[in-house]
Amino acid sequence: MRTRKLAPMLVLGAFLAAACDGTVMSVGTPTTPSVESASFSVMPSTLAAQRTTTTFCPSVPPFSVPLTLFVRAGSVSVVVTEISMRFVDSFGVQMPQVTLPAPVLTAQFGTALVEARSGRSFPLTLGVGCGTGSTGTIIIIVQGRDGQGHTSSTQVTAIVR
């Protein structure tokens, strides 16, 4: 009876010994894939303020600046959770910050998701000129979250001529 139990174990041991080529494998700590951050840019590189047809400050500023925020995701997908824009004219006068939170982004663009290794454009318009000049700098602050739940914030600037 004892031989019956021992025989299958010997056969299995012989099979495993024959399958081994003598290579020693070491077990290390698991590695975390590196996460490439997303890159952000504004197009065109130099923006121009355009006069609006109807002006009623502060709800309808006299100028609007159309721009496109381009987001390119790295190795993981990114969800843009908020876009804030602030205009500072060439004399240093600031307009109040305009913020587009997640629900507005989704309603306006359908989705705020930028798939891994791809890019997405967000066409935006910022009204300027209520108590400020029409030339200066737009500061865009983009907040996002990757698929692993990490959040980050990035600032991009664009010149308005």
pLDDT, residue 2, reads 52
If you average pLDDT over every residue of the chain, what do you get? 83
pLDDT, residue 37, reads 72
39-160 CATH fold: Immunoglobulin-like (2.60.40)
Q: Does the reported pTM lie above 0.95? A: no
Q: pLDDT band at 25, cuts 50/70/90?
A: very low
Query: Measured in whole angstroms, how far is the alpha carbon of residue 88 from the centre of its chain?
Result: 24
Domain boundaries, the chain: 39-160
**C-alpha to C-alpha distance for 77 and 98, rounded to whole angstroms:** 26
Asked if residues 71 and 78 have their Cβ atoms less than 8 Å apart, the reply is yes
Q: Is 128 a residue whose pLDDT tops 50?
A: yes
Length of the chain: 161
